[in-house]
């Protein structure tokens, strides 16, 4: 068992206080967006002065185990993070495995440097992901069913918007209609788009203001969604991402609740602190709400336009199990001593209190944001004691 030092990512949307407060400090000098506890080439955690990637490479059979190596090679299949958003991330989606493999090879063949800002594919892997809230967490996640989007449009009473509603009607599946509306909106001239967004935001302000009256009767989800649209436009006036956000589920989850996103789901985290786990990839296709590279045609190519009724996922016995084969995540509340049985390569991450993690004869004390690497060759039994909270990440077996 080895103490891990995470790789800190300082993206502009990060928070100066969320991770700092988790550590027991007041604030940081710069935005801290993500702490990476994993072995990705773009940012590996370290053990002493060695990267976790190097540690695994020195003895992959011991660290990953036979079954993981047979399926994923000598690469850790998951990436664990703490994510802290003070403002919205870009509107984005991640490719499927086949799309990532093709896109990575295509950009390599084109001679695009892996560090180039216009590079879309940083690796050849897909990226389904799960985030579990540590604070109240706000997210846009997956295309909302059209029936509910029509309710939202009806509540807005925006004549400019009404002229576009017909695109999402007539013959075809729900996914066809969502594709038609989204692809039309992202391709209209900037002046037309700005007028449309301005009118939508003006109408949203009217609905939100009226919603503060107890007798109004507007459903809370509509008020929350439109309040988010207003805030997005204040940060990115006239941005195409504001129109995309109008079609997405807007969810607010409490600590311990989770959202799962398949590859291809359009999404953006808005604000909050959470533990995130995903397939070991950093592939992001952006469609707005960012100053970074936006490749709309490539984004549309990877998008899954099937509606998502509810992106939230429940835990079973403390475990969040998803369709993703690369990872499973457990949230363990500790007040005394608890034993967790799981095999394969594992990471135990403390997020509250003071805890002790013991595997075999080895024992390590952890405070919030500290983590340990537990090799597949070590005991399947993890003993956690003290008072606090720990997340355990492993392969979904």
Instruction: Decide if 69 is catalytic.
Output: no
Taking Cα atoms as reference points, which of 76, 81, 116 lies closest to residue 345? 76
Which residues face 319 on adjacent strands?
316, 330
CA distances in angstroms from 6 to 38, 68, 151, 348, 363, listed in the order given: 8, 23, 44, 12, 19
Tokens of 291: 């100053």
- Does 129 carry a binding-site annotation? yes
DSSP line for 209-275: HHHTSTTS---HHHHHHHHHHHHHHHHSTT-HHHHHHTTEEEEEE-TT-EEEE-TT--EEEEEEEEE
List CB contacts of 8: < 8 A, sequence separation 6 or more: 32, 34, 35, 36
CA distances in angstroms from 190 to 187, 193, 240, 242, 288, listed in the order given: 9, 5, 9, 13, 13
- Does 92 carry a binding-site annotation? yes
Q: Do 263 and 67 form a contact (C-beta atoms < 8 A)?
A: no
The catalytic residue among 144, 179, 193, 286 is 286
Max distance between CA atoms of the chain, in angstroms, equals 69
Report d(CA 192, CA 185) in Å as an integer. 10
CA distances in angstroms from 62 to 1, 38, 39, 67, 374, listed in the order given: 12, 16, 16, 11, 10
Q: Do 114 and 122 form a contact (C-beta atoms < 8 A)?
A: yes
- Does 40 carry a binding-site annotation? no
Angle at 19 between CA 18 and CA 21, to 5 degrees: 70
Report d(CA 222, CA 324) in Å as an integer. 31
Q: Do 228 and 189 form a contact (C-beta atoms < 8 A)?
A: no
Tokens of 236: 């990115």
DSSP letter for 41, please: T
CA atoms lying within 13 Å on the CB side of residue 393: 29
Residues contributing to the annotated binding site for Zn(2+)? 92, 94, 129, 267
Residues catalogued as catalytic = 286
């Amino acid at each position: 068992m080895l103490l891990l030092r995470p790789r800190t990512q300082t993206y502009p949307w990060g928070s100066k206080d969320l991770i700092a407060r988790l550590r027991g400090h007041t604030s940081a000098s710069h935005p801290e967006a993500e702490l990476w506890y994993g072995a990705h080439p773009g940012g590996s955690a370290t053990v002493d002065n060695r990267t976790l990637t190097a540690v695994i490479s020195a003895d992959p059979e011991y660290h990953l185990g036979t079954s993981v190596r047979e399926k994923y090679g000598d690469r850790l299949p998951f990436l664990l993070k703490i994510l802290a958003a003070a403002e919205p991330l870009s509107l984005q989606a991640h490719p499927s495995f086949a799309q990532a493999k093709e896109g990575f090879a295509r950009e390599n063949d084109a001679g695009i440097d892996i560090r180039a800002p216009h590079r879309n594919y940083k690796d050849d892997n897909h990226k389904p992901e799960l985030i579990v809230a540590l604070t109240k967490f706000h997210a846009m996640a997956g295309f909302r069913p059209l029936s509910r989007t029509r309710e939202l449009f009806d509540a807005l009473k925006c004549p400019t918007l009404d002229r576009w509603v017909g695109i999402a009607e007539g013959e075809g599946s729900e996914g066809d209609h969502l594709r038609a509306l989204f692809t039309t909106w992202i391709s209209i001239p900037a002046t037309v788009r700005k007028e449309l967004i301005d009118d939508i935001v003006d109408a949203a302000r009217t609905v939100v203001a009226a919603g503060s009256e107890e007798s109004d009767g507007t459903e809370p989800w509509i008020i929350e969604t439109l309040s988010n649209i207003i805030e997005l436009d204040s940060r990115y006036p006239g941005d195409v991402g504001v129109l995309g956000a109008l079609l997405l589920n807007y969810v607010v989850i409490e600590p311990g609740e989770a959202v799962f996103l398949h590859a291809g789901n359009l999404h953006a985290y808005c604000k909050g602190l959470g533990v995130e786990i995903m397939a070991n990839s950093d592939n992001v296709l952006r469609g707005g709400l960012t100053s970074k590279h936006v490749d709309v045609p490539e984004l549309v190519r990877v998008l899954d336009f099937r509606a998502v009724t509810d992106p939230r996922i429940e835990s079973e016995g403390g475990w969040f199990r998803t369709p993703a084969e690369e990872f499973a995540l457990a949230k363990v509340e500790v007040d005394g001593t608890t034993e967790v049985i799981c095999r394969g390569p594992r990471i135990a991450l403390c997020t509250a209190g003071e805890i002790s993690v013991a595997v075999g004869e080895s024992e390590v004390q952890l405070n919030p944001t500290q983590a340990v690497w537990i090799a597949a060759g070590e005991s399947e039994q993890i003993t956690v004691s003290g008072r606090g909270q720990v997340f355990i990440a492993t392969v979904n077996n």
